[in-house]
Amino acid sequence: MCSENEICFNDFKNRIMNSDKNHLWGGRFNEPTEEFVKIFGASISFDKILALYDIEGSQAHATMLSEVGVLTSNELKQISEGLDQIKHEITNDQFEWSVDLEDVHMNIEARLTEICGDPGKKLHTGRSRNDQVATDIRLYLRDQVRNITTEIERLLNALLDLADQEKETIMPGFTHLQAAQPVSFGHHLLAYFEMFKRDHERLQDGYKRINTMPLGSGALAGTSYPINRERTAEILGFERICLNSIDAVSDRDFAIEFAANASLIMMHLSRFSEELIQWSSAQFDFISLPDSFCTGSSIMPQKKNPDVPELVRGKAGRVNGNLVALLTLMKGQPLAYNKDNQEDKEPLFDTVETLHACLHVFADMVPTIQSKKENMYQSALKGHTTATDLADYLVKKGMTFRDAHEIVGKAVSYAINENKDLSELSLKELKVFDSSIESDVFDAISLEGSLNARNHLGGTSPKQVSLAINAGRKSIK
C-alpha cells in the first residue's frame, strides 16, 4: 500500500500495464477506451475491404526497409511469411476481425505480431497509419478503376454494335420532348457512345492522380529513417510519388475526382434509362426489352416493368449523394490528417460498387434492345419533322431563310387541317405555297431524304453513322 501523497510507482505501472488498452497505441493512456467509443471509432466493419491492399503495401514497405538496412533479411522473411499467412487466412475467411483493434491496419499488424513476434512489431517503422491508409485507398481505387473501365468498354462496344444494326432505322429526334427532326436510331445511340467515351477518357485521366504514392509521408512530416520511396513505388507499380508529405496524408481529391466522374457516368446512364423507360411504354412503343431484364406486377397481370433502367436511374441519386458527402467531408478540414477522413470509405466503396453494377447490367442489356422500326417510322411521320428541310429547299431555290420559314409555317398549318404530315402533301398541294417547288422536293422532305441530306461529320445520314461507327471502333481499340 502506498501512503497518502506518495507516488507509488509500482501501483501506477501495474494499473497502466494491465488496463484493457489498445496495444498498438495505448502507451500514454491510463484508462481503457469507453466501450461505445471503441465501436463508434472503429472502421473495421467497412475498411476490411482494403485488407489485401494493406498487405501488399506492407510487403513493399518491409522489402524497402530491409534494402535500406532498417530490417534484417531474416526479419523481412518472417514478416513476409507472416503476411502471406494472414492473406491466406483472410481469403479463406479464417481471419478473426476485432473491433477492439479499430481498423484493418491494426488488425493485420496485431495478427502479424502474434504470428512472428518482434519482427511484426518492426513493420510499422518509418510509417504511420496516415500514409498507410492513403496508400491502401489508392491501391484499391486503382484496381477498381481498371474493373470499371472494362465495363465501360463493354458498354461502348455494345452501343456500336446496336448502332450498326440501327443506322437505317428512322425515328423522330426530339427537342423539348416534341418531335423535332427525323434522325437515325443508330445516330441517337451514338450520342450515348460519345458521352460514355468522354467518361472513359475522364476515368483514364483521373487514374494518373490515383496512381500516385503517399507512402513514406509518415504521419504528416515524413520520417527520419533512410527510406527509399522510389523503390517502394516501383514495387507497388505507382507511376508517381506524392511530393509533399502533408498533402499526401491529408487530401482525398483523387477519390473525390473519381466520385465526380462516377456521378457523370451515372447521370448519362440515368438519361439513357429514362429514354429506355419511355420508349418501352405503350405510348411510345419504340423498343422492347426482353423479359429477362424486366419484372411483373403483383397486382396488374398485364404489366412488364423496365426495372433495370428504373433502378439505374434511381441509383444515380445515391452516387450523387456520395459525391456531395465526400466534398463536404473534405471541405473545411485543416491540414493534415484528421479522423474525419475515416468517413471517406463508405461513400467511396458504395460509389465503386454501384457504378460497377450499373455499367455491368447496362453492358449486358444494350445488346438485347429490340427496336420496333415501323412504330418509330410512323412516329417520325407525326409532327412535321421535315419542315426545316422544306425551308432549306426553298432557300436553295433562292428564297431568304426568313421568307421560307414563313411559307413553310403556312404549309404546316394547311397539313394540320388536312390531317396529314407535311411530308405526305402532294406536289400540287405544295406548289400552292410556292411555284418554285418541283418534284425534287420529296428528296428533301421525305424522312429518308431529310436524313440523307445531313451528310457531314457528326450528321445523322446513315452513311455518316456508318463512318462514325468505324471511327468509334478505332478509338476504343
| CB nearer to ligand ARG: pick between 56 and 103 | 103
Among 103, 109, 166, 257, binds ligand ARG (CB under 6 A): 103
| CB nearer to ligand ARG: pick between 43 and 66 | 43
Shortest Cβ distance from residue 139 to ligand ARG (Å)?
14
| Residue 129 binding ligand ARG, by CB under 6 A | yes
| CB nearer to ligand ARG: pick between 8 and 39 | 39
| Residue 217 binding ligand ARG, by CB under 6 A | no
Number of residues that bind ligand ARG (CB under 6 A): 10
Q: Which of 3, 73, 176, 456 is catalytic?
A: 176
| Residue 140 binding ligand ARG, by CB under 6 A | no
249 grid coordinates: 496524408
| Residue 250 binding ligand ARG, by CB under 6 A | no
| CB nearer to ligand ARG: pick between 107 and 450 | 107
Among 78, 130, 280, 385, binds ligand ARG (CB under 6 A): 130
Q: Is the dihedral of CA 123, 128, 133, 136 positive or negative?
A: negative
Is-cis flag, bond preceding 179, omega within 30? no
Residues near 30 by Cβ (< 8 Å), separated by ≥ 6?
15, 16, 19
Return the beta strands (E) in 202-288 as ranges: 212-213, 240-241, 287-288
| Residue 261 binding ligand ARG, by CB under 6 A | no
| CB nearer to ligand ARG: pick between 21 and 129 | 129
SS3 string of 114-156? HHHCHHHHHCCCCCCHHHHHHHHHHHHHHHHHHHHHHHHHHHH
Shortest Cβ distance from residue 136 to ligand ARG (Å)?
9
Run of H or E residues at 75: helix 73-91
Of 214, 222, 254, nearest to 60 (Cα)?
214
Shortest Cβ distance from residue 101 to ligand ARG (Å)?
11
CA distance 86 to 324: 36
Judge contact between 42 and 99, C-beta under 8 A. Answer: yes
Shortest Cβ distance from residue 230 to ligand ARG (Å)?
24
Subset of residues 400 to 439 that bind ligand ARG, contact rule: CB under 6 A: none
| 423-436 burial: b if 16+ Cβ within 10 Å, else e | bebeeeebeebbee
| 245-281 burial: b if 16+ Cβ within 10 Å, else e | bbebbbbbebbbbbbbbbbbbbebbbebbebbbbbbe
Q: Which of 45, 297, 413, 475 is catalytic?
A: 297
Question: Which of these ranges, 127-135, 177-185, 257-265, 431-439, lies near ligand ARG under the rule CB under 6 A?
Answer: 127-135
| Residue 474 binding ligand ARG, by CB under 6 A | no
CA distance 298 to 296: 7
| CB nearer to ligand ARG: pick between 75 and 344 | 344
Among 112, 133, 148, 233, binds ligand ARG (CB under 6 A): 133
Residues near 328 by Cβ (< 8 Å), separated by ≥ 6?
none
| Residue 135 binding ligand ARG, by CB under 6 A | no
Q: For the chain, how many residues are written?
A: 477
| Residue 252 binding ligand ARG, by CB under 6 A | no
Shortest Cβ distance from residue 130 to ligand ARG (Å)?
5
Whether residue 176 lies in the annotated active site? yes
| Residue 139 binding ligand ARG, by CB under 6 A | no
| Residue 43 binding ligand ARG, by CB under 6 A | yes
β-partners of residue 182 are 172
Question: Which of these ranges, 74-82, 125-133, 287-295, 443-451, lies near ligand ARG under the rule CB under 6 A?
Answer: 125-133
Judge contact between 361 and 425, C-beta under 8 A. Answer: no
Site string for ligand ARG, 329-348 (x = CB under 6 A): --------x-x-xx------
| Residue 107 binding ligand ARG, by CB under 6 A | no
Whether residue 297 lies in the annotated active site? yes
CA distance 146 to 98: 31
The residue behind cell 428528296 is 443
Of 245, 236, 239, 165, nearest to 209 (Cα)?
239
Residues that bind ligand ARG (CB under 6 A): 43, 47, 103, 129-130, 133, 337, 339, 341-342
Active site residues: 176, 297
